[in-house]
Amino acid sequence: MTQHNHDLVVIGAGPGGYVAAIRAAQLGLTVACVEEEKLLGGVCLRVGCIPSKAMLESSEHYAVAKNDLRAHGINVSGVELDLATMLKRKDGVVRTLTKGVEGLFKKNAITRYEGRGRIAAAGKVTVAGKEPVEITAKHILLAPGSIPAPLKGVAFDGDLIGSSTEALSYPTVPTHLVVIGAGYIGLELGSVWQRLGSKVTVLEYLDRILPGMDLELAREAEKVFKKQGIEFRLGAKVTGASAGKNGCVVTVEGAESISCDRVLVAVGRIPNTKDLGLETVKIELDARGAIPIDDHFATAAPGVYAIGDAVRGPMLAHKAEEEGIACVEHIVTGYGHVNYNCIPGVVYTHPEIATVGKTEEQLKEAGTAFRKGVFPFIANGRAKALGQTEGRVKILADAETDRVLGVHIIGPRAGDLIAEATAAMEFGASSEDIARCCHAHPTLAEVVKEAAMAVAGREIHI
């Protein structure tokens, strides 16, 4: 077994791990990164965020060409789907970006070890790969990411019944796709295949879609998706799913079984914390299988840190990146911080849904007095020109101080618009601060300005 020494060894090359490795190298540490997959970038880049957005973009182009161009005076006939080419494009996007991460490692002199990384003892990590390696390091950073959460009674077969990984590469368009779970992943991939021609049925245990998101926006999103053709069965407890020669059968408590071609299980994700050697340094997982950390990402073991999906907080790539940077900056400089009240979330459906800060429900539960400003995209000139007028912007501000507490958007390019709200909240802005900023006309961002004005009842264009 060969031996190597580094200042920092990062286990996991997903968004949190590779970003942390790069920032640590910038700060002067000698850095190693251990990743068992051949391609760098983690689940997000290989089989998550990036390929799903590529498929969402391609499927939206297809739907627009097939259904919407006539309204713009563009008559198109004979639109056909070439799924193989669409999948090839998706794979090309992934390949290019993973190569980009490789280039960043080389640029920053980060040593990459391919294999399964495991803590062997305090300050030691072993890599089980083609050639076993032992790494000694003063600091160990765990960024193992997450895996799809299982569902009792439903066994993945890697083909007809699977997770988002399989749903990104179906070789043919399912006639009928059943999606179990109405969260971000289920709705995004359900939208992809619905646009491409599938009948999509979404089964959700709760009485609402998008758990945890602002309820008013979730209700509006449900109406929009129903108009697009997605079927929802809420309050549905799935008790089993099986695959056979003629497709799949999904059983639901108190209801008829559903026959379909494929099943996508999207009931969330769980920390990927197995076989990390945590017991060797006496780290115990919490009730949900996550690694407990303090405010500076330190675990119970001296010199061992953890970030991303493996710890508390939302399982989002950008949250992991922020934690990775804050963690290594604290190691080197003594300072490093993440504001968890300002972590945006985006659902990349059509229209997009974006959120940052507190929801109405959270503020009411906490007894926080607030004022609400709402403005619809239908009253916006740019949205009219785009032909995308569904949705609204909602701003929640403290009733006494006017400080913005939460912003929730459903509408065109909501994922881009939420950045203004996030920056405003990070700097402690009031709704009046946003309202008094000049926004270019005509732009979708004017809807954010008008919603901010609406907090004080002074919106103009409605």
State the burial class of residue 173 (Cβ atoms within 10 Å of its Cβ: 0-12, 13-18, 19+): middle
- The pair phi, psi for residue 201, each rounded to 5°, is -115, 120
Q: Which residues contact 427 (CB under 8 A, 6 or more apart)?
A: none
User: What phi-psi label fits residue 371: left (phi over 0), alpha (psi between -120 and 50 degrees) or beta?
Assistant: beta
439 is catalytic: no
Element (H, E) at 20: helix 15-26
The token pair that represents 329 in the structure block:
């900056």
Asked if residue 56 lies in contact with residue 191, where contact means CB atoms within 8 angstroms, the answer is yes
Asked if residue 69 lies in contact with residue 39, where contact means CB atoms within 8 angstroms, the answer is no
DSSP 403: B
Query: Which three-class secondary structure state does DSSP give residue 12?
Result: coil
Asked if residue 170 lies in contact with residue 51, where contact means CB atoms within 8 angstroms, the answer is no
User: What phi-psi label fits residue 147: left (phi over 0), alpha (psi between -120 and 50 degrees) or beta?
Assistant: beta
381/304 Cα distance (integer angstroms): 53
State the burial class of residue 179 (Cβ atoms within 10 Å of its Cβ: 0-12, 13-18, 19+): buried
Asked if residue 305 lies in contact with residue 140, where contact means CB atoms within 8 angstroms, the answer is yes
199/209 Cα distance (integer angstroms): 18
User: What phi-psi label fits residue 108: left (phi over 0), alpha (psi between -120 and 50 degrees) or beta?
Assistant: alpha
C-alpha atoms less than 13 angstroms from C-alpha of 402 in its C-beta half-sphere: 13
Asked if residue 48 lies in contact with residue 147, where contact means CB atoms within 8 angstroms, the answer is no
State the burial class of residue 264 (Cβ atoms within 10 Å of its Cβ: 0-12, 13-18, 19+): buried
Strands 2-11, 133-142: pairing kind: parallel
**Which position among 6, 72, 330, 441 bears the catalytic label?**
441
The token pair that represents 296 in the structure block:
């500076």
**What residues act catalytically?**
441
